[in-house]
A = this chain, B = another copy of it.
Amino acid sequence: MEIEAVILGNGDYPSHPYPLDLLQQAPYVVCCDGAANEYIHRGHTPDAIIGDGDSLSAENKKKFADIFHPIKDQESNDQTKAIRFLQAQGKHRIAIVGGTGKREDHTLGNISLLIDYLQEELEVRMITDYGVFIPTHNSQTFTSYPGQQISIFNFGAKGLQADGLVYPLSDFSNWWQGTLNEATGTEFHIKASGNYLVFQNFR
């Protein structure tokens, strides 16, 4: 998909070339609060900084006051605030980098929220240092390479079946039971009704 914006999250700053290139080539970059500090330190200028400002340095808060959009909302985390900010501008095709690492409860929340965004008909993907998370609705074909590690997290989908994966899928009773699968060739197909999350690791 052609990305309209990249969100740089509060997790570990990306180190893999894929998320770094995405960030470099992004037409529009939103930093979540303190993530802006490192991004600016590396010589970049974000298009917007979102959050409650509690981890943004005093210097950056002052210097980038014109693009800092403080949003107070106890119901959403910084990642979701950034999504809402982009949504309001009509930007729907979004990549999230830096969304994992550091506190694991944040990592779990940030990944799971991808399913919320899917339900709002946004096209959001998360690119980490290890692979990509793709929130998916119903049946879908994915590009892969032989031996690629694939994990499927079930968020209520029924009738899960796969072509092109080593291990068969089934209607998991627990949502994490589709982890640690593997692609057999250059594409695989998942048949399902409902929402699930696909993780494909980098080569």
| Chain A interface (Cβ < 8 Å from any Cβ of B) | 74, 77, 100-109, 111-113, 115-116, 128, 130-131, 133, 149, 151, 153, 167, 174-176, 179-180, 199, 201
A176 and B108 within 8 A (CB): yes
Which residues of chain B come closer than 8 Å to A201, judged between CB atoms? Answer: 103, 105
Contact of A113 among B100, B108, B133, B176 (CB under 8 A): B176
Contact of A109 among B77, B113, B128, B151 (CB under 8 A): B151
Which residues of chain B come closer than 8 Å to A74, judged between CB atoms? Answer: 167
B103 and A153 within 8 A (CB): no
B104 and A174 within 8 A (CB): no
Rounded to whole Å, the gap between the CB of A178 and the closest CB of chain B is: 9
Which residues of chain B come closer than 8 Å to A77, judged between CB atoms? Answer: 179-180
| C-alpha gap A179/B79 in the complex (Å) | 13
Known contacts A74-B167, A167-B74, A105 near B179 by CB under 8 Å: yes
8 shortest A-B CB distances, which residue pairs? A105-B151, A112-B176, A105-B199, A109-B179, A103-B130, A109-B176, A100-B104, A105-B179
Rounded to whole Å, the gap between the CB of A12 and the closest CB of chain B is: 9
Contact of A104 among B102, B128, B167 (CB under 8 A): B128
A104 and B130 within 8 A (CB): yes
5 CB contacts below 8 A, A to B, read A77-B180, A100-B104, A104-B107, A104-B128, A116-B174
Rounded to whole Å, the gap between the CB of A13 and the closest CB of chain B is: 15
> What residue in chain B is nearest A119 (Cβ atoms)?
B174
> What residue in chain B is nearest A100 (Cβ atoms)?
B104
A112 and B199 within 8 A (CB): no
| C-alpha gap A180/B113 in the complex (Å) | 14
Which residues of chain B come closer than 8 Å to A153, judged between CB atoms? Answer: 105, 108
